[in-house]
Amino acid sequence: MNSVIYCEQNWDTFVHHILKLVIKSSSTAIKNRGRFRVVITGGETSKLIYKKLINIKTDWSKWEFWLSDERCVPNNHSLSNEFMIKENFLKFLNIDKSQIHFMNGSIGPFLGAEEYKKQIDRNSIFDLTILSIGEDGHVASLFPGNEMGYNSEDPEVLPIFNSPKPPFERISLSLRSINKSSVIIIIATGINKKHVIDNFLNELDMPALHVKGIEATYLLYCQNPQIL
């Protein structure tokens, strides 16, 4: 295991760690390449992080936003990751729509995955990927027992037809695509996630255990979140 693990009791310290990692990654990418390619995700914890992230000092015009996964619902649906991210994060930033790359869940998993593949350069690397971990150890919409897309010949984006919880149809970056990230941050909160963190530490097989950033992978867990 090459992951760096932070288990925090204090919510503010937990958030500080995440923001510090994001700021470092974005500053380095903008300085070295003039742009910052970041993969963002859905989830209640992510929503709270985004509400803090809007206050950091950065050149937002250099950011390029990608999505880890999407549910196959209309983009204005309450279950849509796009809808949550827009309402709690992106609408507060001075950015152009060309900087945002969402998945089109409304056209179904197969067509949505094919459309998103066309936007991703097979040779490009993301600077940072932010993921949540589920109680079953899933990340993005890569669930235990399903295709992960590990291999070099696998596509960057996978159609998901059998999510274990609704909506059952989704679109997800493959593990191969996720691992083309310089840095990956996996976040988790709440006592109900403690068992999956313990399993991760004990290296029990789960999708999250196969997430490996090129430079670094961080797992940050707060057992007692302030507000969820």
**Contact yes or no for 173/68 (Cβ under 8 A):** yes
Q: Mean of the pLDDT values across residues 46-68?
A: 96
pLDDT at 226 > cutoff 70? no
| Region 3-190+200-222: CATH code | 3.40.50.1360
Nearest alpha-carbon partner for 189 in 137, 128, 132, 141: 132
Query: What pLDDT, in 10s, does the model give residues 111-142?
Result: 999 999 999 877 689 999 999 999 999 999 99
Nearest alpha-carbon partner for 69 in 176, 166, 158, 188: 158
- Ordered by start, the domain boundaries in the chain are 3-190+200-222
- DSSP SS3 for 127: strand
**Contact yes or no for 36/64 (Cβ under 8 A):** yes
pLDDT at 1 > cutoff 70? no
From the CB of residue 205, how many other CB atoms can be counted at a distance below 10 Å?
10
Nearest alpha-carbon partner for 212 in 173, 177, 188, 172: 177
pLDDT band at 2 (very low <50, low <70, confident <90, very high): low
pLDDT cut 70: percent of the chain above it: 97
**Contact yes or no for 178/157 (Cβ under 8 A):** no
Query: What pLDDT, in 10s, does the model give residues 143-185?
Result: 999 999 999 889 999 999 999 999 999 999 999 999 999 999 9
pLDDT band at 9 (very low <50, low <70, confident <90, very high): confident
Q: Mean of the pLDDT values across residues 178-198?
A: 95
Q: Tokens 């507060």: give the residue.
A: 92
User: What is the predicted pLDDT for the residue at 228?
Assistant: 47
Nearest alpha-carbon partner for 14 in 48, 40, 43, 37: 48
What is the pLDDT of the chain when averaged over all its residues? 94
CA distance 99 to 85: 14
Nearest alpha-carbon partner for 46 in 74, 6, 87, 7: 87
Query: What pLDDT, in 10s, does the model give residues 14-44?
Result: 999 999 999 999 999 999 999 999 999 999 9
SS3 annotation, 29-79: HHHHHCCEEEEECCCHHHHHHHHHHCCCCCCHHHEEEEECEEECCCCCCCC
* Amino acid type, 122: R
User: What is the predicted pLDDT for the residue at 29?
Assistant: 98
User: What is the predicted pLDDT for the residue at 25?
Assistant: 98
